[in-house]
Amino acid sequence: MRFTLWLLLCAGAVIAVSGQQVESLDEHRFVVLPSDQGLIMVVSQPDCPLKFEDVKLLVNMKGAWIKSFKLRNQGTKPIRNYTIAAIGSDEWSSGEATNSTDYIMPGQIAPPLGPDKKVEIVPLTKALREKLKLQGPMKGIVALIVVRVEYDDGSLFEEKGYESQKEYFDKLYGSMNPSEGKAK
């Protein structure tokens, strides 16, 4: 009896650890969102010193959309901080660089915003498409934009059209999901 109880406890512990390992792996596993389900685009900003590169819309194993990109300083001045946005959805800020070694120099890629996690892109199978509910009509559009850039000399780049673009996307998302007021 004691042996059976001990065996059950050990089996439960192994299953719990295995479940945690799978869940931990799933946090870092993504599929590229198919273009029939959602689009990611970059707003044209010819005078902007930051350029979006390697832009992808990913989906984690829980179905959340994740915006993936790099930012390159294509200007001629070092950048102290910046704010970017997915219009009508999220805004991110780099935070103030405390000294010149933290500036984003011309030609340099900006450090990633948020935690720098290892990401594994897995193929989108039919089973994953079903699990993540990536079927049916297109679900949305994400538009990335640079809102504001502060240079090392204190001068600024500001996107003058951002507020009206944000208002438009808020209305657009509100009409798509009137009960929620915003798209997911």
Predicted TM-score of the model (pTM): 0.78
Pair 161, 152: CB distance under 8 Å = no
**Parent domain of 135:** 30-176
Which two three-digit tokens encode residue 165? Answer: 């673009």
HEC secondary structure over the chain: CHHHHHHHHHHHHHHHHHHHHHHHHHCCEEEECCCCCEEEEECCCCCCCEEEEEEEEEEECCCCEEEEEEEEECCCCCEEEEEEEECCCEEEECCCCCCHHHCECCCCECCCCCCCCCCEECCCCHHHHHHCCCCCCCCEEEEEEEEEEEECCCCEEECCCHHHHHHHHHHHHHHHCCCCCCCC
For the chain, 184 residues long, give each residue's pLDDT as a single digit of tens. 444 444 444 444 444 433 444 445 567 899 999 999 999 999 999 999 999 999 999 999 999 999 999 999 999 999 999 999 999 888 999 888 888 899 999 999 999 876 666 789 999 999 999 999 999 999 999 999 999 999 999 999 999 999 999 999 988 877 766 554 444 4
How far is Cα 63 from Cα 106, in angstroms, rounded to an integer? 36
- The total domain count for the chain is 1
On whether residue 37 sits in a domain, the answer given is yes
Residue 47 covered by a domain: yes
- Tokens of residue 36, six digits: 């029939």
In a domain, 154, yes or no: yes
Determine, yes or no, domain membership for 24: no
Answer yes or no: are the C-beta atoms of 69 and 56 closer than 8 Å.
yes
Q: What integer pLDDT is reported at residue 6 of this predicted model? A: 46
Strand partners, 116: none
Is 11 inside any structural domain? no
Residue 5 lies in a domain: no
1 inside domain: no
Instruction: Please give the Cα distance from 171 to 176 (Å, whole number).
Output: 9
129 inside domain: yes
